[in-house]
Amino acid sequence: MDGHLMEPTLYTVKGIAILDNDGHRLLAKYYDKNIFSTTKEQKAFEKNIFNKTHRSNSEIIMMDGMTCVYQSSVDLYFYVMGDSHENELILMSVLHCLFESISVILRRNVEKRAVLDNLDVVMLAMDEICDGGIILDANPINVVQRVALRSDDTPLGEQTVAQVLQSAKEQLKWSLLK
């Protein structure tokens, strides 16, 4: 195998998907435009991976040249996908962070209806964990705190001075990190 392809990279995650218990997509993000570049290809892959995993007790599968880790809960299936040579433990930490963050956000009610009712916050949590395939955070506590800060819709006039200062510090921090 070409040594260049095996070099470490920050682009660890190729995709994240949440499917229902029929294998239909609730939410999915693919970060590598070279694989599954069309929605049709993505849905075909999701159907295929669901068919292979929905009756399985394992947590990992190699499929279509990718390492996929997954977890189920009530009527949902959570998937994190990476390259075939990707470290499974890193992918599992992303999966764990995604599931635990959503679990806390939904107050341990991780099921299809709750995810659909809070899709905006679930998408925000997904974006806080991974951006463009680069893992930003794998700590569910940090993710939940940032999602709570961003989804706080309190008008500026009703915030305390401490909340305004905290919000300003967060915005300054994020602007400096860009």
Selection from 146, 154, 155 nearest residue 126 by Cα: 146
pLDDT reported for residue 1: 46
Domain 3-177 has CATH 3.30.450.60: yes
H or E, element range at 45:
helix 39-53
pLDDT reported for residue 80: 95
Task: Give me the tens of pLDDT residue by residue for the chain, a chain 178 residues long.
Answer: 444 556 667 778 999 999 999 999 999 999 988 888 889 999 999 999 999 988 887 889 998 889 999 999 888 999 999 998 888 999 999 999 999 999 998 888 888 999 999 988 999 999 999 999 899 999 999 999 888 876 555 555 555 666 667 777 777 776 676 5
Q: Answer whether 124's CB lies under 8 Å from 150's CB.
A: yes
Report the number of secondary-structure helices (H) and strands (E) in the chain. Answer: 6, 7
Please state the pTM of the whole predicted model. Answer: 0.78
pLDDT reported for residue 67: 93
